[in-house]
């Protein structure tokens, strides 16, 4: 369904390949994170490297977007997530996933970066509230990786 949604959104070329790559890595990451609350390096690092490589391909063939902004967005989101890891106990796997989502969102605009990142937090917050309403302990950890990926891919597809 994720791949169908990306196809329906209409992106083509290298940028679409970056979306599909992050979706493929993201599905595996989401399943692992939900099961064991970890985002393993064996998936986060290829997600990041592959996304940046495919966006570089998009830039080389002149697709609309900006590789410089994508790189700056990846760095900005990663810096914010490092701060959150220190002050809010965000996992380091989420920090390692941040460059991939940041780059994909930053490719089109800073606005996309903002909304895609915020969407991940909002969807995660709604999920956490549902768990609390269902009686889950408020101190329990919530896997955040799936929400990062959902927010990034949703906004990225919407801006394609």
- Tens digit of pLDDT for each residue in 18-55? 999 999 999 999 999 999 999 999 999 999 999 999 99
- Give the residue numbers spanning the domain of 142: 2-158
End-to-end CA, the chain:
17
- Place 142 in a pLDDT band, splitting at 50, 70 and 90: confident
More confident residue, 143 or 17: 17
User: What are the CA-CA distances from residue 154 to residues 60, 112, 144, 149 (Å)?
Assistant: 25, 10, 16, 8
Q: Which whole number is the average pLDDT over 60-83? A: 97
CA distance linking residue 59 with residue 123, whole number of Å: 31
CA distance linking residue 1 with residue 78, whole number of Å: 28
- Dmax (CA) of the chain: 52
User: What are the CA-CA distances from residue 69 to residues 12, 56, 58, 92, 107 (Å)?
Assistant: 20, 12, 13, 24, 6
DSSP 61-97: TT-SS-HHHHHHHHHHHHHHHHHHHHHS---HHHHHH
pLDDT at 140 over 90: no
What pLDDT, on a 0 to 100 scale, did the predictor assign at position 9?
Answer: 92
pLDDT at 139 over 80: no
CA distance linking residue 107 with residue 125, whole number of Å: 26
What pLDDT, on a 0 to 100 scale, did the predictor assign at position 160?
Answer: 78
pLDDT at 78 over 90: yes
Name the domain count of the chain.
Answer: 1
More confident residue, 142 or 83: 83
What pLDDT, on a 0 to 100 scale, did the predictor assign at position 157?
Answer: 94
CA distance linking residue 132 with residue 145, whole number of Å: 19
Q: Which two three-digit tokens encode residue 96?
A: 């390692």
36-47 residues labelled b (16+ CB within 10 A) or e (exposed): eebbeeebbebb
pLDDT at 17 over 90: yes
How do residues 91-130 score in pLDDT, each as one tens digit?
Answer: 999 999 999 999 999 999 999 999 999 999 999 999 999 9
Mean pLDDT across the chain:
94
């Amino acid at each position: 369904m994720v791949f169908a949604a990306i196809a329906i959104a209409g992106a083509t070329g290298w940028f679409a390949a970056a979306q599909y790559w992050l979706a493929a890595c993201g599905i595996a990451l989401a399943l692992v994170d939900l099961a064991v609350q970890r985002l393993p390096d064996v998936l986060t690092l290829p997600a990041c490297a592959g996304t940046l490589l495919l966006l570089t391909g998009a830039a080389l063939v002149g697709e609309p977007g900006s590789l410089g902004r994508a790189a700056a967005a990846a760095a900005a989101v990663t810096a914010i997530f490092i701060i959150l890891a220190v002050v809010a106990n965000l996992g380091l796997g989420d920090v390692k996933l941040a460059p991939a989502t940041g780059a994909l969102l930053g490719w089109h605009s800073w606005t996309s970066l903002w909304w895609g990142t915020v969407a991940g937090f909002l969807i995660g917050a709604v999920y956490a509230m549902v768990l609390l309403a269902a009686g889950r302990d408020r101190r329990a950890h919530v896997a955040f990786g799936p929400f990062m990926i959902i927010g990034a891919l949703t906004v990225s597809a919407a801006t394609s």
